[in-house]
């Protein structure tokens, strides 16, 4: 059943399908997004992430189903003014190379009704203050990506759509980029990010939307997806040298032991078994020196749903 829309939802998609000729690129998409959320779309190339973004931006229209962005259909001409509240950074950033960074941003600022002061502020914020008067043709890929982000941030948008936004950025600039997004979110902006870089978005998303072959196969917080996937928790015990085999025997035949060496034991269990197992291990006394608990990472959860797992 379609998700129920409420006044706090800034995006609502109900049974949305998109076809190009005989090819279906989006299938029965039901999704609601609330104000202030950071939603990360993940999926393989061709999963439908960019197609979904374009529908939400009003750049294309659905073959069937209903879409509301800030309470309106984004594809209607009457919603053009509403786009002033949207910011969009495409995966491939293209700018006219004979213009300077300042000229490019000023051009987009005029379209959005933003000021010269804001342009200078944003160029400095994304680290292009000193390169603002240089031509785009001299910019590296990372510099163009940062200019694209400044363009998307013009006018303090309510909704920010970012398609593979950290492509071409080094680790330091990636961290800076997400700090900028965090700042916008603290001011009430809603972010929709498409990314293959699972490790860097793992701790930042309110919810993840996992897509496969044009359909949403899972949606939720990291903990909710972990519970849906029913993947095991991994534990590693550090024990007194020479005592690992004895500790493994005391754990019992019902415990799934993955590896034992001289002074460590690797084992796994389901989430609901974790606390009873920890209490059991704590009764062993000083022979156990340390315990590391490692829940499934986003990459493991993603692989689960890509390889046939479902809601």
In the block, tokens 């949606």 appear at 219
| 270 within domain boundaries | yes
In a domain, 45, yes or no: yes
Phi, psi of 17 (to 5 degrees): -125, 150
Helix (H) / strand (E) element for 123: namely: helix 116-125
pLDDT at residue 113 in the model? 85
For residues 2 and 13, give the distance between their C-alpha atoms in angstroms, rounded to a whole number. 8
Q: Locate 119 and state its tokens.
A: 């342009």
Helix axes 116-125, 141-153, angle to 10 degrees: 140
In a 13 Å sphere around the CA of 26, the CA atoms on its Cβ side amount to 25
Note whether 168 and 256 are same-domain residues: no
Identify the pLDDT of residue 4.
Answer: 41
Provide the number of structural domains found in the chain: 2
CATH code assigned at 204:
3.40.50.300
Instruction: Count CB atoms within 10 A of the CB of residue 3.
Output: 14
| C-alpha closest to that of 143 among 162, 163, 123 | 123
- The partner residues of 70 in beta bridges, in order of sequence, read none
Domain coverage including residue 65? 9-94+156-173+185-227
Question: What is the CATH number for 282?
Answer: 3.30.70.260
Whether 262 is covered by a domain: the verdict is: yes
User: Do 90 and 237 share a structural domain?
Assistant: no
Q: Which residues are paired to 147 by β-bridges? A: none
Q: What pLDDT, on the 0 to 100 scale, is given for residue 30? A: 97
- Block means of pLDDT (10 residues each) for the chain, 311 residues, are 55 96 96 95 93 93 94 71 78 91 94 90 92 95 90 91 84 83 85 89 91 96 91 95 95 93 94 94 95 93 83 44
167 and 45 in a single domain? The answer is: yes
| Shared domain check, 253 and 221 | no
């Amino acid at each position: 059943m379609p998700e129920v829309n409420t006044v706090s939802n800034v995006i609502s998609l109900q049974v949305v399908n998109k076809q190009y000729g005989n090819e279906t690129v989006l299938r029965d998409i039901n999704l609601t997004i609330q104000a202030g959320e950071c939603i990360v779309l993940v999926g393989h190339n061709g999963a439908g992430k960019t197609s979904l973004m374009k529908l939400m931006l009003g750049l294309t229209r659905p073959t069937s189903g209903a879409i509301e962005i800030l309470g309106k259909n984004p594809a209607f001409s009457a919603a053009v003014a509403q786009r002033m509240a949207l910011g969009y950074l495409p995966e491939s950033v293209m700018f006219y190379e004979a213009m300077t960074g300042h000229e490019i941003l000023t051009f987009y600022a005029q379209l959005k009704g933003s000021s010269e002061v804001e342009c200078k502020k944003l160029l400095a914020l994304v680290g292009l203050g000193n390169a603002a008067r240089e031509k785009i043709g001299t910019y590296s890929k990372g510099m163009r990506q940062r200019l694209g982000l400044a363009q998307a941030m013009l006018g303090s948008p309510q909704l920010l759509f970012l398609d593979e936004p950290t492509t071409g950025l080094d680790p330091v600039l990636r961290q800076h980029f997400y700090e900028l997004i965090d700042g916008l979110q603290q001011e009430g902006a809603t972010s929709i990010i498409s990314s293959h870089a699972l490790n860097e978005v793992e701790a930042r998303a309110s919810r993840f939307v996992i897509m496969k072959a044009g359909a949403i196969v899972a949606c939720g917080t990291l903990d909710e997806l972990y519970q849906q996937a029913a993947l095991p928790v991994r534990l590693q015990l550090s024990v007194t040298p020479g005592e690992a085999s004895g500790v493994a025997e005391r754990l019992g035949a019902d415990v799934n032991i993955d590896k034992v060496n001289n002074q460590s034991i690797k084992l796994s269990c389901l989430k609901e078994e974790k606390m009873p197992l920890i209490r059991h291990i704590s009764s062993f006394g000083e022979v156990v020196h340390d315990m590391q608990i490692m829940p499934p990472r986003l990459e493991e959860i993603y692989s689960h749903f890509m390889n046939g797992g479902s809601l």
